[in-house]
Structure 1
Amino acid sequence: MTPTVWTFVIVCPLVFLAGFVDSVAGGGGGLSLPAYLIAGVPIKIAAGTNKLANGFGTALASYKYIVSGNVDWLCAIPSALGSLAGSSLGTSLAVYLNEEVLEMIVLAALPVVAVVLFFARDFGKVEKPPKSRGKTLVLSLLIGLLIGLYDGLVGPGTGTFLAIGFSLVLGYTLLKSSGCAKIANLASNVASMVIFFLDGDLLFSVGIPAMLCSMAGNYVGARFAIKGGSDKIRSIMFLVLGLLFVKVGLNLLGIIDF
């Protein structure tokens, strides 16, 4: 495929926006992947190029969270390992499971998550007393494994669910949860990017400009989240959950297919 001016006009702004959203609350992939498809990039190459841009963007956002002190490595490393294992398992199981059933489960779960976030006003605002080192390691690994499994089976909103899981189970603020989620996402992004690269499914002529836009969006978004704190992250999470609900619903109706 030879990109045109319109390819970049469509892809670059949406990838920047996706990077911003993803660095704050996760779920940016639901905006960036459709951008490539709208621009006419074939689905497999779009997925690979999307991983290239997202990988570098997530790396920059991760750096911002790390230097601001909002990453707990006791959570981040085991959850990253669990996410890698779960994602691989989920991808393998997806071949044997009915995708529509999985999407219906997600569609039913999303409003429940949104209602919990809405009524639990203090959710993720104040950090709860830390759990023991052993519990944190085990629970982080399990959260990474379960959300990674979801990522391999269904996909959208992985970063959002990781952040919610860390706050709900480990008692972190949403800001620290988002920082830990970035590390787990980065691990799975890099692994996927390497696979797509080896298969030759990266369009560098589009991917390099998209990568720069993703990095810019992630940088701005991470600064926004770190300065705004958990309240700002919570607001963006409602937006992500709403968009995800619409996306999965349209998939089930057969209106879109990505």
Structure 2
Amino acid sequence: METDLLTLAIVCPLVFLGGLVDAIAGGGGLITLPAYLMAGVPAHLAIGTNKLSSGLGMAMSTWRLYRGGFIDMRLALVPIVSAFVGSLAGARGALLVPESVFEIILIALLPIAAVAVMRKKTLEPDVHAISPERQRRLLALCAFACGAYDGFYGPGAGTFMLILFSAAAHLAVRDAAGQMKITNFSSGLAAFLMFAMAGEVDWVLGFAAGAFGIAGHYIGAGLVLKNGSKIVRPIIGVVLLMLFAKTAWNYFAGQP
């Protein structure tokens, strides 16, 4: 596909905005993927190219959060591997299970997740409530599940990781944001490799949009470093609302 100025004008600003949101609470794909489709990029090519541009941006926010001390690599190693394997398994499963089945599950699940996030204790867990060994096991399990979702369907995967890392594995919210970012980068990388091997990546458009994604992720990661849960909680609520609206629209619009 030939990349023209109109395509860049539509995609690049929205990739910047998606990167900003994604760095804070995940879910940037709810903005960036529709941007590619709106610009007329074919669906599979849009997904693969979006994985490239979002991956470049995610690398920036991951690095910034690491430099800020919010990523413990010793704790992150197993979740990184779990998310990568889960994403590969999810992508394979996507070939076997109709997407509409997963959409029904999401429509039921998302309002519950939104209510949980709005509860004060969900993102303010007792960080000493569980042992380090149990915390590592929970992180690995949550990473695998969210990685499988990322490979199978995708939108909001980082948001679900952040919620589970905080609520289930009892990480402080800013630590959860850091661990989520590097883990989500791993699951996104697995999905990107599969699309790249299938030839479904527009490299020129992906790298151009990726530059804007890097800028958005850089600013978003800075907001996380400064404001912690004060900025994360409302952004998660907005992302979940967007995901619910998008999923419900896709499902009911496709019904006869």
| Corresponding position of 1:103 | 103
- Structure 2 residue 192 is the aligned partner of structure 1 residue 193: yes
**What is the SS of the residue equivalent to 1:170?**
coil
Q: Where do 1:113-124 residues align within 5 Å? A: 113-118=113-118, 120-124=119-123
- Structure 2 residue 40 is the aligned partner of structure 1 residue 40: yes
| Corresponding position of 2:17 | 17
Per the TM alignment, residue 130 of structure 1 is displaced from its structure 2 partner at its CA by: 6.2
- Structure 1 window deviating more from structure 2 (197-206 vs 242-251): it is 197-206
Q: Measured at CA, do residues 86 and 194 of structure 1 come closer, stay the same or move farther in structure 2, by a change above 3 Å? A: closer
**What is the SS of the residue equivalent to 1:79?**
helix
| Corresponding position of 2:178 | 179
| Corresponding position of 1:221 | 220
- Structure 1 window deviating more from structure 2 (188-197 vs 164-173): it is 188-197
| Corresponding position of 1:92 | 92
Percent sequence identity over aligned pairs: 37
1:28 and 1:59 map into 2 onto residues whose CA distance is: 14
1:190 and 1:152 map into 2 onto residues whose CA distance is: 10
What 5-or-longer segments of structure 2 have no aligned partner? Answer: none
Count of aligned residue pairs for this structure pair:
255
| Corresponding position of 1:82 | 82
1:45 and 1:97 map into 2 onto residues whose CA distance is: 21
Is the 2:147–2:184 Cα contact (8 Å) retained in structure 1? no
Per the TM alignment, residue 127 of structure 1 is displaced from its structure 2 partner at its CA by: 5.2
Q: Where do 1:64-83 residues align within 5 Å? A: 64-83=64-83
Q: Where do 1:200-219 residues align within 5 Å? A: 200-219=199-218
Q: Give the structure-1-normalised TM-score.
A: 0.92
* AA aligned opposite 2:228: G
Deviating beyond 6 angstroms after TM superposition, the runs of 4 or more aligned structure 1 residues are: none
Q: Give the structure-2-normalised TM-score.
A: 0.93
Is the 1:159–1:181 Cα contact (8 Å) retained in structure 2? yes
* AA aligned opposite 1:244: L
Q: Measured at CA, do residues 110 and 46 of structure 1 come closer, stay the same or move farther in structure 2, by a change above 3 Å? A: same
Per the TM alignment, residue 23 of structure 1 is displaced from its structure 2 partner at its CA by: 0.4
Q: Measured at CA, do residues 84 and 110 of structure 1 come closer, stay the same or move farther in structure 2, by a change above 3 Å? A: same
Q: Measured at CA, do residues 4 and 110 of structure 1 come closer, stay the same or move farther in structure 2, by a change above 3 Å? A: same
Per the TM alignment, residue 59 of structure 1 is displaced from its structure 2 partner at its CA by: 0.6
Aligned-pair RMSD on alpha carbons?
1.8
Per-residue CA deviation, residues 156-186 of structure 1 (Å, 9 max, x unaligned), is 1100000000101121122111110111111
Q: Measured at CA, do residues 94 and 190 of structure 1 come closer, stay the same or move farther in structure 2, by a change above 3 Å? A: closer
Per the TM alignment, residue 255 of structure 1 is displaced from its structure 2 partner at its CA by: 6.3
Per the TM alignment, residue 205 of structure 1 is displaced from its structure 2 partner at its CA by: 2.3
| Corresponding position of 2:140 | 141
| Corresponding position of 2:241 | 242
